[in-house]
Structure 1
Amino acid sequence: MQASPDTTHVAIAPVPDETLAELLARRAAEDPDGVYCYFKDDVLTLGALNARVNQLANLLWRDGLRPGDRVGLMLPSHPDHIVAIFALAKLGLVRVPINVHLKGASLQHLFDHLAPRALIADAEYADALAPELSKLERVLWRGGQDAARAFEGLASQSAAAPPVRPAPDDILALTPSSGTTGAPKGVLKSDRTLRAGPQAILRLTGARPGNTFLLWESLHHGAGVAVIISALIGGTRLAMVERFSASRFWDDARRYNVTHIHYLGTVIPMLLKQPARDGDRTHGVRIAWGGGCPPDLWKTFSERFGVEMREGYGLSELITFVTVNPDGPAGAIGKALDYYDVMLADDEGKPVPVGQTGEITVRARVPELGFLGYFRNPEAEASSRRGDWFLTGDLGRQDAQGFLYYAGRKKEMLRRRGINISTWEVERVLAEHPDIEELALVGVPSDLGEDELKLFVRVREKAAGMPAVLDPLALIKWSEARLPYYQIPRYVAFIDEFPKTPTQRIQKKELPRTVADAWDLERSGYRIGK
């Protein structure tokens, strides 16, 4: 893609030098009674948020934490989690987000690799954390099962600003990459990059002060953090819920007069598979924005729920969105923001022709917003770069007008009978089956030295609450009219619940590659017609 801001880039305002600490203090001074966040029946104002953030920051300062120290956060989706995120930013501490569902070896890996000095955690996770506590100098607990949910010692602290001023490019977080195919890596995130992603959100969504975003994302993931920062920058409001729920999604949107909803991963298909209701369009939501909407569901979702779709593309290693599509063709991830150049490249780093699939590679036009590296992982960092270009591992194609389209993960390309297969392409077709709620396709070893295809299926529940009965052979016969023979899975296994990232992406690395417990097409005696 040639760098021409008139035709191949989307204009966006520069990222100012005002830090997160300064931004929060200014917004609280300008509009102390302004609503920042709704949570259940509570309302958190900007003034109250800043005061609580300062109290927690002063508590951490009193305990000896200083700029650059790494601090783990293992907290539920609650306004207190927002307070903790901003308190660390006020002190220039480096946030180490911890998924509340981690336990055992995965939790140990995070503590050993990212090595936080201190931890702020909810007492609910004390048992899972017990083996790691000896590695920490300080642990600050939030509440307990028989105590009020509050940070220990917070009420006695001053609400004045703490005695430190972080700089715009200080590192403030080690954000774990999604880790769907390997161990998570700690991505270095600066104050500036943490603010750039939210600016991209505001550019994509066209949000205005007073608009309300439904916040269902877990705050141990960068997408959720970007949303809470965007509310400070853009003057929007948050309607925070404890977890994503497809059945309650639109009720929550109506309750809080939500104007913008965010989607990632399997959110769009899950909402579409909810039973149709008379109130599907009786809400105030105007914009659905995010990444990963299956192109064939774009129009269906828009028409059923009466919302405008806004798609983009981003990744943990850069910012929330690298490309945005505020008004382009359906299914496109848009064009690059002014901050970046994007090129679709072959394995040698050369541009691929228009219409052909290549790896999405990104080069920062603003050096401070480029890939800042992985924490203590020089090998992974080096393998992710080719000169000035960051190698995303994602595939895309570009049309004649310069619009980009996502085409799956490079590492999820399987090879079967001499033919390359994109798992993403197969999954989006099979996901249309009316009895399938969710699915994932993986490769398993073949006697021929290539891949066989194993499909994991979570069956959709019927209206009466009983699961549908899905015959594997009937599914294979259904797929014959929709897939070429070499894309039809050999193995089918059923699963009650998929392991997922905070963005609702299925973690394929945790799905077993064994086939002894799976239905086998070859053993069934049925032969696929070619």
Structure 2
Amino acid sequence: MVKLARAEGAPFFRDDETVPGLLARAAAERPDHVYMRANGEEITCASLAARVEHVAAGFAALGVKPGDRVAVMMGHHLDHVICFFAIMRAGAVLVPVNVAIKGPGLVYQIEHSAPSLIVADAEFSDVLAEPIRAAQAKGARADVVWRLREGETVLPAPGHALSQMSVADAAAAPVIAHDWKDLRIILYTSGTTGAPKGVQMSDRMVQATALGSIWLSDMQPGSVLHFWDPIYHVFGAEVLVLALMVPVTLHMVPRFSASKFWSEVKDAGATHIHFVGGVLQLLLKQPPNELDLTHGARIAWGGGCPRDVWGAFEERFGIEIREGYGMTETSSFSTINPGGSKAGKLGSIGTGVDYYAVEVVDELGNPCAPGVPGEIRVAEREPGVLTVGYYENAEATASALREGWLYTGDLAHVDADGFITYLGRKKDSLRRRGENISAWEVERVVNDHPEVAECALVGVVNEMGDEDLKIFVRRIEGSTLQGADLLAWSAERMARFQVPRFVRFIEEFRKTPTQRIQKQFLSNSIEDFDYDAESRGARAER
């Protein structure tokens, strides 16, 4: 397992190392190494660094200063990679935006982060129009750089063309004294009982996301990674940075495709694949194929692999599962099980990475005995690897960070050997196909429907063992609103992954004395629905 060179007992991170510094060093020490293959092009470390300099200079020419926030809403392509590093090179703070978000959720994120600049693919101009107006009305500059589609020459809305940034004078790139303490990313994660929270990630945290992945995946020089991971997620960012720490090559594909997955892996000569919850199940559902055991990859690393899927996946595809656990607040992985099913423990998320203390504790903060469920909490053993809090949200920060510990809201138990088994979430937050989903966000949109009196969202286990969404709805008096119509209306106002699968209409909700819906009394069965979007069928529409 690569640990990266360090003296015994020395820190895992250097105070003179930064993410922009990693790129500069890779370009100087291995200029001809192929960092990435994308759309038939090979991008060397030197080429990447040169392109980043041009775009960083272009951003600076538009008035972007160190500390300014720059929101990015772009698809999975090379320009996104360049902008990722150029924003950091300019000393600005990256605010990644999930390309599936629209409506109130997008307005909130742009308005709350108050960006100086927004960089976006032209195809998102319509969904960004209202968020841009809202942010500017609150005093944000929110200037826009558009990436045009091939062959386009006309901007979709006021702003600038990314192509102009790409030819800016690289010599004009600002001289920035980067530091490991610098705020590099504000990454919005799903809210639980409230709005999404902007996790503040320092430069060192961004480095730690990569280092944890390197340890978990046994990443070695010369490895090739099948790179489908969205860059607006922390696991996409960690892959970009780990390829600077270890001389590997990223083979970029536009998106995850279950049907094309193994042919893409084989064609790329990939040694490693990455997964999040739901991905392995989708691959297992594919028809048997001759590529199942001839794809060439040897390790799959990530988080969210159910115990029963673990063995089935390894047996069918001949690839070793490496399971970990974490969250954006803990620089992605805070625990890892690098031994896989051979040397580790099947179904376990492992033990704390070396720069974290990880405990399972009871309601009073006392460590739980082996086998006793409790909440996972994490503290840093090395400064800078844990978030300092949520951007402009002191209340959420105070709730999560207490006496040096981050309380994750996730349940687990630990065995006598210190290996942790993940049990689920305490929070009112759900997870579907690798996406964290705020029940509050979904409920807010559904409640806006003129025929909905109130609603509540819960997670249910579907036929694949993955989590799906079930919305309980109390209609206004006299309404005959149907599930299909409600979900079609919702799909226009929220991301696809946020749209519930099951709809159940009820007459009344059980509530607390303070009129909060008691979700614990709502059925998590997938048999008692009024509408199922997957089968487009009504069991008892009424």
What is the number of residues matched between the two proteins? Answer: 444
Alignment of 1:179-194 (within 5 A): 179=191, 182-194=194-206
Residue range with higher mean Cα deviation, 102-111 or 290-299: 102-111
Q: 1:137 to 1:297 in 2, by over 3 A?
A: closer
Match of 1:156 in 2: 167
Match of 1:203 in 2: 215
Residue range with higher mean Cα deviation, 122-131 or 289-298: 122-131
Task: Judge conservation of contact 2:323–2:348 (CA < 8 Å) in 1.
Answer: yes
CA distance in 1, matches of 2:96, 2:230: 10
Alignment of 1:124-273 (within 5 A): 124-134=123-133, 135=136, 136-144=141-149, 146-147=151-152, 151-160=162-171, 162-179=174-191, 182-273=194-285
The Cα of 1:221 is off from its aligned counterpart by: 1.0
Alignment of 1:214-363 (within 5 A): 214-327=226-339, 328-363=344-379
Say if 2:52 is the partner of 1:14: no
Q: RMSD value over aligned CA atoms?
A: 2.9
Task: Judge conservation of contact 2:330–2:378 (CA < 8 Å) in 1.
Answer: no
Aligned-partner residue type, residue 86 of structure 2: A
Match of 2:63 in 1: 64
Task: Judge conservation of contact 2:376–2:409 (CA < 8 Å) in 1.
Answer: yes
Match of 2:389 in 1: 373
Structure 2 residue matching 1:322: 3-state secondary structure = strand
The Cα of 1:146 is off from its aligned counterpart by: 3.6
Task: Judge conservation of contact 1:124–1:145 (CA < 8 Å) in 2.
Answer: no
> Unmatched 5+ residue regions in structure 2?
1-8, 156-160, 431-457, 475-483, 485-502, 504-522
Match of 1:465 in 2: none
Q: 2:461 aligns with which of 424, 427, 431?
A: 427
TM-score between the two structures when normalised by the length of structure 2: 0.76
Q: 1:410 aligns with which of 402, 419, 426?
A: 426
Task: Judge conservation of contact 2:110–2:132 (CA < 8 Å) in 1.
Answer: no
Aligned-partner residue type, residue 185 of structure 2: A
Counting aligned pairs with the same residue, the percent is 41
Q: 1:106 to 1:155 in 2, by over 3 A?
A: closer
Structure 2 residue matching 1:37: 3-state secondary structure = strand
Aligned-partner residue type, residue 387 of structure 2: F
TM-score between the two structures when normalised by the length of structure 1: 0.78
Q: C-alpha offsets along residues 305-339 of structure 1, whole Å, 9 cap, x if unaligned?
A: 11111011110111111001011111110000121
CA distance in 1, matches of 2:525, 2:103: 36
The Cα of 1:490 is off from its aligned counterpart by: 5.7
The Cα of 1:350 is off from its aligned counterpart by: 2.0
CA distance in 2, matches of 1:225, 1:178: 18
Q: C-alpha offsets along residues 21-68 of structure 1, whole Å, 9 cap, x if unaligned?
A: 111111111111110111131111111100000000011111221100
Q: 1:387 to 1:253 in 2, by over 3 A?
A: same
Task: Judge conservation of contact 2:310–2:321 (CA < 8 Å) in 1.
Answer: yes
Structure 1 residue matching 2:291: 3-state secondary structure = coil
CA distance in 2, matches of 1:13, 1:269: 38
Match of 1:495 in 2: 533
Task: Judge conservation of contact 1:53–1:84 (CA < 8 Å) in 2.
Answer: yes
CA distance in 2, matches of 1:295, 1:183: 32
Aligned-partner residue type, residue 140 of structure 1: V
The Cα of 1:154 is off from its aligned counterpart by: 2.8
CA distance in 1, matches of 2:467, 2:213: 29
Structure 2 residue matching 1:280: 3-state secondary structure = helix
Q: 1:384 aligns with which of 400, 412, 419?
A: 400
CA distance in 1, matches of 2:359, 2:467: 31
CA distance in 2, matches of 1:203, 1:147: 43
Aligned-partner residue type, residue 118 of structure 1: L
The Cα of 1:159 is off from its aligned counterpart by: 3.2
The Cα of 1:192 is off from its aligned counterpart by: 0.8
Task: Judge conservation of contact 1:91–1:164 (CA < 8 Å) in 2.
Answer: yes
Aligned-partner residue type, residue 330 of structure 2: L
Match of 2:90 in 1: 91
Task: Judge conservation of contact 1:66–1:93 (CA < 8 Å) in 2.
Answer: yes
Task: Judge conservation of contact 1:361–1:389 (CA < 8 Å) in 2.
Answer: yes
Structure 1 residue matching 2:332: 3-state secondary structure = coil
Q: 1:445 to 1:255 in 2, by over 3 A?
A: same
CA distance in 2, matches of 1:395, 1:307: 28
The Cα of 1:85 is off from its aligned counterpart by: 0.7
The Cα of 1:115 is off from its aligned counterpart by: 1.0
Match of 2:103 in 1: 104
Structure 2 residue matching 1:154: 3-state secondary structure = helix
Q: 1:518 to 1:143 in 2, by over 3 A?
A: same
Match of 1:31 in 2: 30
Aligned-partner residue type, residue 406 of structure 1: Y
Match of 2:468 in 1: 440
Task: Judge conservation of contact 1:54–1:162 (CA < 8 Å) in 2.
Answer: no
CA distance in 2, matches of 1:178, 1:285: 32
Residue range with higher mean Cα deviation, 361-370 or 404-413: 404-413
CA distance in 2, matches of 1:231, 1:263: 17
Q: 1:165 to 1:295 in 2, by over 3 A?
A: same
Structure 2 residue matching 1:397: 3-state secondary structure = strand
The Cα of 1:367 is off from its aligned counterpart by: 2.9
